């Protein structure tokens, strides 16, 4: 059996976990530039707020409805997520962390999976104050469906989806677009063939699926029929590129201000590299004016820099970003968006030193470890390079 633990309204629940007085009150969390809504409490959903809704369109309504608004705090959410994952991992044979708020668990040898799930739910709530839902079934696709039922239609927050009649009933209730792994393009294709419900998809011919949706479509249907076809992935492959970018509320026309923002982006990318024990061979910087304005000078600046030696060192990456920005910046422009991308990412142990490198790699790695340890204990941004500004 596979269990899927899914944190309820995760970002909103994280904010409420440190502000218990907000229990029962509407909460929305905004994207990193406060441009749109990326999370809502159940109370905010009931008031009609939509995921991805631009804030400027509903600002007056938010004030009128007395909704509590928070800017996204990714560092805090990540910290809470890691604590939840540790609790879950301690109580199962194997686990796949699927996203910041979801994890698949192997419940194969669990005698009473529903009781185990209730226990885990209570432990997570007790230690983190975050409510979770747990769906249990034979396959990952059915477990995903079960977790949705657990969240929406049970009081316990736990649901075991098993037995032909119960599975058939659940599949007839959900449309294909609600299934895990089915996107807009696939939904349109299936609807054109007259397949609207998950129960119809479960009976679809595999030959047609292989031709039109390749092997993924075949595996999806097999999973709907209780045949495990997607393995539990305990260690996900490292990302091949990492980007940190932002659209600004007010356009930036100062090299210093732009460099401060990009230095922080570079620092974030470097931290992510170190966290997944990887190094990058290249870093790129891009800056862009507002393409929707017709009365201004337009400019898109992009420059990629290759390191002599692949690195995850914040100092080296920030230095390269500064030099790249200096070459692409146009003082006559007002910039609306900017970002940093590290790419050609490889594992730490595959580092190849340059013949002309004078840097003490081991010494700098120790420095970065101290840097990360302090920021982990004292809060992200406690220790920073002067070029990053005051935060």
Q: What is the DSSP string of 57-106?
A: HHHHHHHHTT-EEEE--HHHHHHHHHHHHHHHHTTSS-EEEEETTEEEEE
pLDDT given at position 356? 44
Q: Is the pLDDT of residue 355 over 80?
A: no
CB 287 within 8 A of CB 325: yes
Say which DSSP state 306 is in.
Answer: E
Strand partners of residue 285:
303, 340
Q: Give pLDDT, residue 277.
A: 86
Given a cut of 90, is residue 34 above it in pLDDT? no
- Rounded Cα distance between 177 and 201, Å, is 11
Mean pLDDT for 259-267 is 91
Q: What is the mean pLDDT of residues 306-317?
A: 89
The pLDDT value given to residue 245:
82
Distance, in Å, from the CA atom of 245 to the CA atom of 28, rounded to the nearest integer, reads 22
CA 142 to chain centre: 22
What are the phi and psi torsion angles at 322 (to 5°)?
-60, -45
**Sheet with 68-71, edge to edge strand ranges:** 37-40, 27-30, 68-71
**Contact call for residues 336 and 290 (beta carbons, < 8 A):** yes
Q: What is the pLDDT of residue 344?
A: 84
Mean of the per-residue pLDDT values of the chain: 86
pLDDT band at 193 (very low <50, low <70, confident <90, very high): confident
Where do the DSSP E strands lie in the chain?
2-7, 27-30, 37-40, 68-71, 95-99, 102-106, 132-137, 158-160, 241-252, 278-289, 300-311, 335-347
Query: Among residues of the chain, what percentage have pLDDT more than 90?
Result: 36
pTM, two decimals, is 0.63
Q: Please say if the pLDDT value at position 242 is more than 80.
A: yes
Chain segment 148-188, per-residue pLDDT in tens: 999 988 888 999 999 989 999 999 989 988 888 788 888 88
- pLDDT tens, position by position, 79-113: 899 899 988 888 887 888 888 899 999 988 778 88
Between CA 366 and CA 376, with CA 370 as vertex, the angle to 5 degrees is 140
pLDDT digits (tens, 9 = 90+) for 199-233: 988 898 888 888 888 888 888 889 999 998 888 87
Of 270, 242, 275, 273, whose CA–CA distance to 385 is shortest? 270
Phi, psi dihedrals of residue 237, rounded to the nearest 5°: -65, 145
Give 82: exposed, middle or buried? Use CB within 10 Å, 0-12, 13-18, 19+: exposed
In terms of Cα–Cα distance, which of 319, 316, 313 is closest to 367?
A: 313
Work out the average pLDDT over 30-54.
87
pLDDT value at 47 more than 90: yes
pLDDT band at 373 (very low <50, low <70, confident <90, very high): confident
């Amino acid at each position: 059996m596979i269990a899927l633990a899914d944190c309820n309204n995760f970002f909103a629940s994280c904010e409420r976990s440190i502000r218990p007085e907000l229990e029962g009150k509407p909460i929305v969390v905004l994207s990193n530039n406060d441009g749109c809504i990326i999370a809502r409490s159940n109370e905010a959903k009931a008031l009609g707020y939509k995921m991805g809704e631009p804030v400027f369109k509903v600002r007056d309504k938010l004030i009128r409805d007395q909704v509590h608004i928070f800017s996204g705090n990714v560092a805090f959410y990540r910290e809470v997520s890691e604590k939840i994952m540790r609790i879950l991992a301690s109580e199962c044979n194997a686990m796949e962390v699927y996203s910041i708020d979801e994890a698949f668990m192997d419940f194969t040898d669990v005698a009473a999976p529903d009781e185990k799930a209730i226990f885990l739910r209570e432990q997570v709530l007790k230690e983190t104050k975050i409510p979770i839902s747990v769906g249990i079934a034979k396959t990952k696709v059915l477990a995903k469906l079960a977790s949705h039922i657990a969240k929406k239609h049970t009081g316990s927050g736990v649901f075991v989806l098993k037995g032909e009649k119960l599975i058939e009933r659940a599949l007839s209730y959900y449309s294909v677009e609600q299934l895990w792994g089915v996107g807009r393009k696939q939904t349109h294709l299936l609807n054109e063939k007259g397949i609207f419900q998950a129960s119809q998809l479960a009976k679809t011919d595999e030959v047609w699926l292989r031709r039109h949706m390749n092997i993924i479509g075949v595996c999806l249907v097999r999973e709907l029929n209780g045949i495990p076809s997607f393995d539990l992935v305990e260690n996900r492959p490292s990302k091949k590129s990492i980007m940190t970018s932002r659209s600004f509320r007010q356009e930036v026309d100062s090299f210093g201000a732009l460099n401060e923002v990009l230095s922080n982006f570079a620092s974030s990318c470097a931290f992510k590299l170190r966290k997944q024990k990887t190094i990058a061979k290249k870093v790129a910087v891009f800056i862009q004016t507002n393409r929707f304005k017709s009365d201004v000078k337009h400019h898109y600046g992009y420059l990629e820099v290759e390191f002599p030696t692949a690195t995850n060192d914040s100092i080296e990456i920030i230095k390269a970003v500064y030099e790249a920005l200096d070459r692409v910046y146009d003082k006559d422009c007002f910039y609306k968006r900017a970002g940093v991308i590290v790419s050609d990412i490889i594992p730490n142990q595959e580092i190849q030193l340059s013949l002309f490198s004078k840097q003490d790699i081991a010494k700098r790695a120790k420095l970065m470890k101290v840097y990360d340890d302090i920021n982990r204990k004292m809060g992200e941004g406690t220790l920073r390079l002067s070029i990053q500004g005051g935060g």
